[in-house]
Amino acid sequence: MRQNPSVELTPDGGPGQVKVGIPEAVVQQTDDGAVRIKYDAANPFAPHIAKDPPWPMVNNPWRVNGDLVFTPTADGVRVDGTCTDYPSMEVYQDFPDGSSRTVLIDAAIAGNSTGPMVNLPQHHEVGAGGSAFAPFDSGGWNPDYDVPIPLAVDGVRDHD
């Protein structure tokens, strides 16, 4: 996973210091080929309190994050899940014959300078939203170990 660099402007509006943050991601895949990506990234220039706020904002940091499921279908990939209201997100699918299709265009709620401050703590659903997480949270996936093994049923783990 890669995070675009952030550039601080000088007083005269020119490029200044450049920093690159280190994004975090968790990737899972089910037997049917669906891929779940949980991602989280912060502006490296943001103050610590924005990246890790105290109560009552503890669950809403000013970070770009989301939890998306990419599911293969007969018509191409489908994207479902949740993501922050900022920034805009675009998903395209490229095919072996060189053609491509637009899968998702999710415009930021505010695409101006207020976007990060007002919209980063907020989330919304795309596609089927959080219902897409069910195959990853139950059945044949153990999120504690990131390996495809049966989950415990009534506290008993299947070891066959």
Taking the model in full, what pTM does it have?
A: 0.76
Q: What is residue 140's predicted lDDT score, i.e. its pLDDT?
A: 53
Whole-number Å distance between alpha carbons of 91 and 102: 6
What is the band of 53 on the pLDDT scale with cuts at 50, 70, 90? confident
Tell me the percentage of the chain whose pLDDT exceeds 70.
84
126, β-bridge pairs:
81
Q: What is residue 78's predicted lDDT score, i.e. its pLDDT?
A: 97
pLDDT at position 148 over 70: no
Cβ pair 106, 126 in contact under 8 A: yes
pLDDT at position 99 over 90: yes
Whole-number Å distance between alpha carbons of 44 and 21: 5
pLDDT at position 37 over 90: yes
pLDDT at position 152 over 50: no
Task: Give the chain's mean pLDDT.
Answer: 81
Nearest CA-CA partner of 68 in 146, 128, 3 = 128
Q: What is residue 104's predicted lDDT score, i.e. its pLDDT?
A: 95
Whole-number Å distance between alpha carbons of 148 and 29: 8
Whole-number Å distance between alpha carbons of 149 and 18: 43
What is the band of 58 on the pLDDT scale with cuts at 50, 70, 90? confident
The average pLDDT across 59-80 equals 90
Token duo for residue 65: 């994050």
Q: What is residue 63's predicted lDDT score, i.e. its pLDDT?
A: 84
Segments making up each domain of the chain, as ranges: 24-137
Nearest CA-CA partner of 104 in 136, 139, 128 = 128
71, β-bridge pairs:
78
Q: Which residues contact 91 (CB under 8 A, 6 or more apart)?
A: 77, 79, 102, 103, 104, 105
Q: What is residue 114's predicted lDDT score, i.e. its pLDDT?
A: 79
